[in-house]
Structure 1
């Protein structure tokens, strides 16, 4: 009788675990969809002057990356120290759905529609940097009286 009760408890625990794993799987699918280029934030309407400001701000942020574990050797094999600054590339999506990567100069010459799709790719994840900077500007305009 105890074996039947234990088997019932084990079955119940297995069902709960299966439901939990299914919920996590659904959440992961939702998150994966959230970070794809079809994300509703991927493109939005902005004026040309605002797009130029966003491109300039993005370039400042993207130019402040540092990788500490690079070993720098100069002429003659002289070790010049560890670490190196680098520009994180901005990825944008054009009208045809093709990726455009930009490191320099700032993407001020890109159309506002293409720029609005700009993101930083981190493996399978994306940081929608242009959208985030636009949100920062909107916050400052609304709450701090910034005039852009």
Structure 2
């Protein structure tokens, strides 16, 4: 089924079933596959709606984190292409701040997922990476020590 048709059907079903977290999650998945920013924002809203309906919806948390961190690879590629001139150093600092912003936007959802799904290896590994990237050493060490 084409994504547009699928989106329409799930949207209609979500209107009829406003407490079905799976419908909002699936709508978030479909919208996240689009390249435009409006669809990405709608995807985020749908993941959050799924979490609001079902606060223990692990996949909604993790897909929301993936959505938040989506631009990281492009930023890292740009950072790696820079030289060491003063102008490049300024560009690097701007890109670094942008990258940190991505991490900070994902952090609350990762921390909540870790709280809800303690012991989940994927959640823990992702959160450790974010703590490390944000130089949150104490939180990194505390989580690393957790079994």
Fold-level match, TM-score > 0.5?
A: no
Richer in helix (by share)? 2
Alignment TM-score, normalising by the size of structure 1:
0.23
Alignment TM-score, normalising by the size of structure 2:
0.23
Higher RCO (Cα < 8 Å, 6 or more apart)? 1
Richer in strand (by share)? 1
| Bigger radius of gyration among the two | 1
